[in-house]
């Protein structure tokens, strides 16, 4: 019935394409807008931006602010990027925008995109993607960015001067300005949280400190002790000094902003104004009381909502070649022509699907008839490698984990990149994976015995189980019958794999950790924890000081080659020591330490530490089986690859 229903739908799509042929294409934003015209667009944005943020984390705040300032004036159309001309002063030169920086970063991203996909990706989309990735790179949340914006042709300084929310604004004005753009009072409270990163100039708070009512007094809504601290930094008439918006963590994206505002320590009047309205005050106090329990998700949702303000799509606006200059640009009817082709191919594909079924499903002993020795061959081949190098167990377990979290357990992590596509294997989080040669050896042995029968995705699941078993871990039954996927996209691994820098809120959204009882980590992944956690040359206070001192002996600043054990003393053995280490505040990664920041995960850590892992082996096996069901392809979906690195 599903396939039969598909025919009339596709017929109507095709008919609609003909009707649209003579009409102006209004278009709209969508996820993956560039998947055909520039499939690596988001990856290029991320990689180019990383070169800058990795050297200077303070760039994240102005890049986020740049997107905000763009959307509030004429909508998210990249008008903030245009340079002034002899006949027009552009937004960029308006007083509120004169402290923006990072335009060179946007230009570098645009240049990289133009080399790969000339005339395709708009500057307004670049701003939206850069804002998201900049937040992500300093520990903030990830959100999906709908794209398809086109660039505006008008930029007027006066509009920015009068219409941007001001740091001096009261709550009434702020609510009016947000409402005028279609944003809610909650959005106002949420997006104000962007002030958790960045700095402010003393000139913007001088009046609050020294002459609030014209009588040489201080703003009474400002905590007196905090005002005294600010006065030490910001002397009267000082126009050059800057102060942190979120003292102590102004380079890290977290929920501390709300705790500060709740204590009447918001830097700007517009921050303090959040306490003057019932709805915004309740939001501030809730995030402060719950350690920002919903802030990460709320911020992503409000950013997406803001990203829709006044967008130009379809044939509106243009695609600039250089973001600072207008580009008179017209496009033909390529979009409609592509629509014809897509609908036609969909219709053909629907006919091919008729009569096929995708019932299938995972089951124990799936290969008992077609390849009865499959699991034995996997075990024997793997043993030849693990017996020589026990450290292979950790990356092989991690490989299965990374595979399942992207598109499900379909072996997509094994596919190699092509000229037209960068695969998951080459995404930054996967560049330290190893053991692909082991998977290839297992596949080769299976192909000799049972050609075209055992999938690469099942090999990953079986190898992960046996690798853990061979270094002293538990055994669990692995249901098989997975088939291999045909799609592997680096971007998806880049954005969706749980990060070693993630906090507990993000981890709970994404999932799991206990496999860190084996394996190693590179010094580059903990350098910030050891030497510059809040941007002041300090160490992460959640890390045990004695352990931090030990790590510093191994990981000198700038050291990118050295590795350290995740579970010191038993990193080649699968045991419960990981939980004892985490309980002692000696988890190597921020994501390990984050387990102590949530009641449920903290209780589990302490229970396993106290009981010598009494239930860990069983729990781990059960969770691995559960993970192995994520997004599986079965029946006639996907394929059975002959070589794991190449689609048939």
Q: Which are the catalytic amino acids?
A: 69
Structure tokens at 400: 């299965």
DSSP state, 380? Answer: H
Q: Which residues are annotated as a binding site for Ca(2+)?
A: 70, 75, 77, 79, 91, 196, 246, 254
Nearest to 579 by CA among 539, 612, 543: 612
Half-sphere exposure of residue 200: CA atoms within 13 angstroms, side-chain side: 24
| R_g of the chain computed on alpha carbons | 27
Nearest to 297 by CA among 143, 183, 193: 143
Q: Report strand pairing: 242-244 vs 520-522.
A: unpaired
DSSP state, 165? Answer: P
State how far the alpha carbon of 392 is from the alpha carbons of 339, 382, 432, 467, 491, in Å. 48, 10, 12, 8, 26
Say how far apart CA 381 and CA 193 lie, in whole Å. Answer: 53
Q: Is 248 exposed, middle or buried (0-12, 13-18, 19+ CB in 10 A)?
A: middle
Say how far apart CA 42 and CA 126 lie, in whole Å. Answer: 9
Nearest to 438 by CA among 167, 268, 645, 174: 645
Say how far apart CA 578 and CA 615 lie, in whole Å. Answer: 14
Say how far apart CA 259 and CA 269 lie, in whole Å. Answer: 16
Residue in this structure with the two tokens 């042709």, named with its chain if needed: 153
In sequence order, what are the residues at sequence separation of 6 or more whose Cβ sits closer than 8 angstroms to the Cβ of residue 239?
A: 201, 202, 203
Say how far apart CA 1 and CA 7 lie, in whole Å. Answer: 10
* DSSP-derived 3-state class of residue 253: coil
Phi, psi (deg, nearest 5) at residue 147: -125, 175
Q: Which residues are annotated as a binding site for heme b?
A: 195
**Angle formed at CA 236 by CA 235 and CA 241, multiple of 5 degrees:** 50
What b/e sequence results for 96-121 when a residue is b if at least 16 CB atoms lie within 10 Å of its CB, and e otherwise? bbeebebbebbbebbebbeeebebbb
* DSSP-derived 3-state class of residue 12: helix
Say how far apart CA 69 and CA 63 lie, in whole Å. Answer: 10
Nearest to 509 by CA among 520, 492, 497: 497
**End-to-end CA, the chain:** 29
Q: Are 403 and 414 in contact (CB under 8 A)?
A: yes
């Amino acid at each position: 019935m599903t396939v039969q229903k598909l025919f009339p739908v596709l017929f109507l799509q095709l008919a609609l394409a003909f009707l649209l042929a003579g009409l102006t294409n209004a278009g709209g934003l969508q996820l993956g807008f560039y998947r055909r015209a520039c499939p690596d667009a988001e990856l290029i944005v991320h990689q180019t931006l990383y070169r800058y943020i990795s050297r200077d984390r303070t760039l994240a705040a102005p890049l986020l602010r740049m997107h905000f300032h763009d959307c509030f004036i004429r909508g998210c159309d990249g008008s903030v990027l245009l340079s002034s001309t002899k006949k027009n002063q552009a937004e960029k030169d308006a007083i509120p925008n004169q402290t923006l920086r990072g335009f060179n970063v946007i230009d570098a991203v645009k240049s990289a995109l133009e080399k790969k996909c000339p005339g395709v990706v708009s500057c307004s989309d670049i701003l939206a993607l850069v804002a998201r990735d900049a937040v992500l790179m300093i520990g903030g949340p990830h959100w999906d960015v709908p794209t398809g914006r086109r660039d505006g042709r008008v930029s007027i300084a006066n509009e920015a001067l009068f219409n941007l929310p001001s740091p001096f604004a009261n709550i009434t004005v702020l609510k009016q300005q947000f409402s005028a753009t279609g944003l809610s009072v909650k959005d106002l409270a949420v997006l104000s949280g962007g002030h958790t990163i960045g700095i402010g100039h003393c000139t913007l708070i001088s009046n609050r400190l020294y002459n609030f009512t014209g009588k040489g007094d201080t703003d009474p809504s400002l905590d007196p002790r905090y005002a005294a601290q600010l006065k030490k930094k910001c002397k009267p008439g000082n126009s050059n000094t800057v102060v942190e918006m979120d003292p102590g963590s102004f380079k890290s994206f977290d929920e501390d902003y709300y705790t500060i505002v709740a204590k009447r320590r918001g830097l700007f009047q517009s921050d303090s104004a959040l306490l003057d309205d019932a709805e915004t005050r309740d939001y501030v106090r809730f995030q402060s009381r719950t350690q920002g329990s919903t802030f990460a998700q709320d911020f992503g949702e409000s950013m997406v909502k803001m990203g829709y303000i006044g967008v130009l799509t379809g044939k509106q606006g243009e695609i600039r070649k250089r973001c600072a200059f207008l580009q008179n640009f017209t496009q033909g009817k390529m979009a409609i022509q592509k629509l014809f082709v897509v609908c036609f191919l969909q219709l053909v594909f629907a006919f091919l699907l008729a009569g096929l079924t995708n019932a299938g499903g995972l089951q124990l002993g799936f290969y008992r008839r077609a390849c009865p020795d499959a699991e034995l061959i996997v075990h024997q081949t793997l043993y030849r490698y693990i017996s020589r190098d026990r450290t292979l167990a950790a990356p092989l377990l991690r490989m299965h984990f990374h595979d399942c979290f992207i598109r499900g357990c379909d072996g997509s992590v094994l596919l190699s990149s092509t000229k037209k596509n960068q695969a998951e294997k080459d995404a930054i989080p996967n560049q330290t994976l190893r053991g692909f040669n082991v998977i290839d050896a297992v596949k080769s042995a299976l192909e000799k015995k049972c050609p075209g029968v055992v999938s690469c995705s099942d090999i990953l699941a079986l190898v992960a189980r046996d690798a853990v078993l061979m270094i002293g871990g538990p055994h669990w039954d692995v249901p098989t019958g997975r088939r291999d996927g045909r799609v592997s996209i680096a971007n998806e691994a880049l954005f969706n794999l749980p990060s070693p820098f993630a906090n507990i809120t993000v981890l709970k959204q994404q999932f799991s950790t206990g496999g860190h009882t084996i394996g190693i980590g590179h010094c580059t992944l903990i350098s910030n924890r050891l030497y510059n956690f809040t941007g002041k040359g300090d160490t992460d206070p959640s890390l045990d000081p004695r352990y931090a001192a030990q790590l510093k002996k191994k990981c000198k600043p700038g050291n990118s080659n050295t590795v350290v054990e995740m579970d010191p003393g038993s990193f080649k053995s699968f045991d419960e020591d990981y939980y004892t280490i985490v309980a002692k505040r000696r988890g190597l990664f921020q994501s390990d330490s984050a387990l102590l920041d949530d009641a449920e995960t903290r209780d589990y850590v302490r229970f396993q530490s106290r009981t010598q892992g009494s239930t860990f082996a069983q729990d781990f096996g059960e969770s691995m089986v559960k993970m192995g069901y994520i997004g599986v392809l079965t029946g006639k979906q996907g394929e059975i690859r002959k070589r794991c690195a190449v689609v048939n």
